A and B are shown apart, each in its own frame.
Chain A
Amino acid sequence: MRKIISFLVLFAILFLSVSAVAGESVPPLQHNWSHKSLFGTYDREAVRRGYQVYSEVCSLCHTMKFVSYRNLADIGFLPKEVKNIAAQYSVTDGPNDDGEMFERPALPSDTFMSPFKNEKSARAANNGALPPDMSLLVFAREGGEDYIYDLLTGFTPPPTGIQAQTDIYYNKYFPGGQIAMPQPLSDNLDQSAQDVVQFLAWVSDPYMEQRKRMGVKVILFLLVFAGVTFKIKQRVWSKAGKGKTN
């Protein structure tokens, strides 16, 4: 039996470790992210700085349709600041009582404004390529945070043998190496990339901290409950308890 149990463990480990990795591109390097450790939390400062980078650079091309301005309160923006941030953008609302669409400043309850009217206009502005939505970007890429960091910092001139094309850039971390996005960050590159990656991690998994906190409570409760149940089980199964059970 012991052999079989150890085998089942092996079975589990094998399956957990098997992951399909796409070929061609260079695998991302491992970095240390504070939020990735077992009880790790998001570095609020970094996430807020990352939002700055996002709003000044990324958001010019990328959408983030699942995040609302009010969510910024979770990373430490005050209600007033959130209102002001939202009010910088304008939303098409309506129709009003006259049947007309109208523009109004965005409210905290609105989702992040899209930089383009629709997919076609996004493609038209980006030489046919569609900048992906960033709401789930960390989850939706093999390598997650590491991959995005490496991509942001990994722009190089194409190596010999690969022909330079207009509006196509070279990045060895991108599958295939040829990417339609020009190098987005340059000033203080390392810091900005780290910040924006942490912002994106928060955006993909905003409930991570709450989940871990609840997890600790749930597991502590289950451990205590299991301990009590174990004692009861032992009592019930001991010879002393035998008379009562039959």
Chain B
Amino acid sequence: MSDSEKIKKFDNSVIQWIDKRLPIFSLLKKEYVRFQVPRNFNYLWNFGAILLVLLVIMIVTGIFLAMNYTPHTALAFDSVERMTRDVNYGWLMRAVHMNGASFFFIAAYIHIFRCIYYGSYKNPREIVWILGVFLLMMLMVTSFTGYCLPWSQLSGWGTTVITSLFSAVPLVGDSLVTWLWGGFSVDNPTLNRFFVLHFLLPFILCAFVLLHIWAIHTTGSNNPTGVEPKSGKDTVPFHPRYTAKDSFGLLLFLIVFAAVTFFAPFALTEPEHFRPFDPLQTPEHIVPEWYFLPFYAILRAFTMDICIPFTQIVLLSAKLQGVLALLGSVVVLLFLPWLDTSPVRSARYRPVYKWCLFLWVVSVVVLGYSGAQSAEGLPMLFGQIGTFFYFFHFLAVMPLLGKFEKTLLIPDSISEAVDKKMGMKN
């Protein structure tokens, strides 16, 4: 109990009164004021805070949109258009929410890339990382169900394509799809349950965010050197150092967000998103939102059924392979802490791995390109090569390279690395 005695009492008597009964101010002080963090974070460490703010923006705008939305196949498209035109500042809420989804993914992908580049998932932060992968999965389901709600051509057909994937599950596939749809096609029951899920999931996501933050505050943050803090010289208190730095980074991010939202709010949408869903008319191109394109390319990369040799009995249909690869592309992330065998965390000191990681990022971009094209010819081939590289990096490069790579000299401590950098500057 000596710890709690050490915390200075609050000057404000009301706060003191509350804190004695519910130590919420002590908690905030401990976790966000005095909390010691490495002193050498770069701007890539801003994205956790940025994501938190985006989550709040999405929930607030989403609640206002939900108040004016009608989850019915005959009314959904019209209700979205009505709230854009006839509800005060409906256009603003919709533009922020719509582009917020894209910026949520931009921030999430940068956050994830930062973890991979600096080896933030390694011992002792495995659980932080795994919770993060769960957050990514929830984010994907949330955005996918949200994309369905305007009941446009892309909403309806996107939902049809993705939910139909479950039909690839052996034996129970078709029943599973009927169960998901709540009927024999994407229809009103599907829209209703997607609306419920889209409203519910963000709150579950919030709970996981709390766990994610709890875990990172327990292990302490990683830093660009990947070396754990060793003494007081390596760390600074969270406030005001990182509250100031995070605020600045957040504002820069919001400027870009605002620029797109106010000056090009429809840049990331397709024309088919402005036509109401017609189950009898398939659009020429069904493209998912840009942030799903790499996964969409992985899904389509498989074209050959695997049969028992010399028979026609299909063991693993091309469709099922695609679905498994799609699931695998996210699930594999859960195992990164154990797939990466290198004792060195930060890619800064891993000259070969750095290039492999670069190639992996290239493969993700190529997959994104391929996902936007029709599944044929050269783009299709690119998609297949990209898929191979995506998995090759995680399943072969990461485990093997860690054992053989000659790493650069790691600094003894964070302060040594910082001093060296400052020395070079002067």
Is there an interface contact between A15 and B248, defined as CB atoms closer than 8 Å? no
Answer whether A219 and B258 are a contact pair too, CB < 8 Å, given A20-B285, A245-B237: yes
Tell me if A240 is interfacial: C-beta within 8 Å of chain B. no
Chain A positions within 8 Å of B270 at CB level? 19-20
- B254 pairs with A20, CB closer than 8 A: no
The chain A residue with its CB closest to the CB of B84 is A207
Smallest beta-carbon distance B320→chain A, Å: 26
Given A20-B285, A139-B274, is A230 in contact with B237 using a C-beta cutoff of 8 Å?
Answer: no
Set B95, B251, B285, B290: member contacting A15, Cβ < 8 A: B290
Q: Min CB distance, B76 to chain A, in Å?
A: 14
Whether A246 pairs with B237 at a CB distance below 8 angstroms is yes
Whether the Cβ atoms of A219 and B266 lie closer than 8 Å is no
Question: Which of B56-64, B137-145, B239-247, B325-333 sits within the interface?
Answer: B239-247
* A207:B91 contact, CB within 8 angstroms: yes
A142 at interface, CB cutoff 8 A = yes
Among residues of B, the one whose C-beta sits closest to the C-beta of A68 is B86
Contact status B244-A222, CB under 8 Å: no
Q: In the assembly, what is the distance between CA of A220 and CA of B194, in Å?
A: 38
A16 within 8 A of B: yes
Whether A211 pairs with B81 at a CB distance below 8 angstroms is no
List A contacts of B368 (CB < 8 A).
11, 14-15, 18
**B255 touching A223 by the CB < 8 A rule?**
yes
Q: Is A236 a contact of B258 with CB atoms below 8 Å?
A: no
Q: Are A222 and B255 also in contact (CB < 8 A) when A142-B271, A211-B265, A229-B247 are? A: yes
B245 and A218 form a contact (CB under 8 A): no
B110 touches A8 (CB 8 A): yes
Check if A66 sits within 8 Å of B254, measured CB to CB.
no
- Taking CB atoms, residues of chain A closer than 8 Å to B240 are 232, 236, 245
- B124-157 vs A, CB cutoff 8 Å, 1 = contact: the mask equals 0000000000000000000000000000000000
Q: Is the CB of A140 within 8 A of B274?
A: yes
- Nearest B-chain residue to A224, judged by Cβ: B251
Q: Which of A3, A20, A140 contacts B373 (CB 8 A)?
A: A20
Q: Are A229 and B271 in contact (CB under 8 A)?
A: no
B207 within 8 A of partner (CB)? no
Please, how many angstroms separate the alpha-carbon atoms of A144 and B269 in the complex?
Answer: 13
Task: Render A202-246 as a binary contact track against B, CB cut-off 8 A, 1 for contact.
Answer: 001011001110111011001101100110110011000000011
A208, B140: Cα distance in complex, Å: 30
- Selected from B247, B261, B274, B373, the residue in CB contact (under 8 A) with A233 is B247
Instruction: From known contacts A7-B361, A66-B81, infer whether A18 and B117 are also in contact, taking CB-CB under 8 Å.
Output: no
User: How distant is the Cα of A210 from the Cα of B92 in the complex, in angstroms?
Assistant: 10
Q: Which of A12, A140, A144, A245 contacts B241 (CB 8 A)?
A: A245
* A38 and B365 within 8 A (CB): no
The A27-83 residues at the B interface (CB cut-off 8 A) are 38, 65-67, 71
**B358 CB–A CB distance under 8 Å:** yes
Contact residues on A (Cβ < 8 Å of other chain), bracket: 35 or more
Q: Are B284 and A22 in contact (CB under 8 A)?
A: yes
Contact, CB under 8 Å: B262 / A214:
yes
Task: Report whether A237 and B255 are in contact in the complex, using a CB–CB cutoff of 8 Å.
Answer: no
Pair A233/B262 contact, Cβ less than 8 Å? no
Residues of B within 8 A of A141 (CB): 271
Contact status A136-B274, CB under 8 Å: yes
A66 to B241, CA, bound (A): 51
Question: Measured between alpha carbons, how far is A237 from B251 in the docked complex, in Å?
Answer: 18
A168 interface residue (CB < 8 Å to B): no
Q: Are A4 and B266 in contact (CB under 8 A)?
A: no
Q: Interface code B71-104, partner A: CB below 8 Å = 1, 0 otherwise?
A: 0000000100110110000011001000000000
B372 within 8 A of A: yes
Let me know if B271 and A222 touch, CB within 8 A: no
B263 contacts the other chain (Cβ, under 8 Å)? yes
**B42 contacts partner chain A, Cβ-Cβ < 8 Å:** yes
What is the minimal beta-carbon distance from A169 to any residue of chain B, in angstroms?
21
B293 on the A face (CB < 8 A): yes
Asked whether B85 lies within 8 Å of A18 as measured between CB atoms, the reply is no
* CB of A224, distance to nearest CB on chain B (Å): 10
> A7: shortest Cβ distance to chain B, in Å?
6
Chain A residues whose C-beta falls within 8 Å of the C-beta of B374 in the assembled complex:
20
Give a binary string over B342-380; 1 marks a CB under 8 Å from any A CB, 0 the rest: 000000000000000010010001001100111000000
Q: Provide the residues of chain B in CB contact with A135, threshold 8 Å.
A: 81
CB pair A233–B293 under 8 Å, yes or no, is no
> A136-B81, A214-B92, A218-B262 are known contacts. Are A246 and B274 too (CB-CB below 8 A)?
no
A4 — which chain B residues lie within 8 A by C-beta?
113, 117, 358, 361
In the complex, how many angstroms separate the beta carbon of A239 from the nearest chain B beta carbon?
A: 11
| Residue of B whose beta carbon sits closest to that of A24 | B284
Cα distance A223–B252 in the bound complex, in angstroms: 8
A66 near B358 with CB under 8 A, answer no
Min CB–CB distance B380 → chain A (angstroms): 14
Flag whether B287 is at the interface (Cβ < 8 A): yes
B117 proximity list for chain A (CB < 8 A)? 4
Question: Contact between A10 and B271 (Cβ–Cβ < 8 Å)?
Answer: no
A211 CA / B254 CA spacing, docked (Å): 16
The answer for the CA separation of A123 and B290 in the assembled complex, in Å, is 36
Contact among B236, B254, B266 with A222 in the assembled complex (CB-CB below 8 Å): B254
Chain A residues in the interface with B (C-beta under 8 A): 1, 3-4, 7-8, 10-12, 14-16, 18-20, 22, 38, 65-67, 71, 132, 135-136, 139-142, 144, 175, 204, 206-207, 210-212, 214-216, 218-219, 222-223, 225-226, 229-230, 232-233, 236-237, 245-246
Question: Could you list 21 examples of A-B contacts with CB < 8 Å?
Answer: A4-B113, A4-B358, A10-B365, A11-B368, A15-B290, A16-B267, A18-B293, A18-B373, A19-B270, A20-B287, A20-B374, A38-B263, A136-B81, A136-B275, A139-B271, A140-B275, A144-B271, A207-B85, A216-B262, A229-B248, A236-B240
Given contacts A136-B81, A226-B248, list 7 more A-B pairs with CB under 8 A. A16-B268, A65-B78, A139-B269, A175-B284, A215-B262, A229-B248, A246-B237
Nearest 5 A-B pairs (CB), nearest first?
Answer: A215-B262, A140-B274, A226-B251, A139-B274, A233-B244
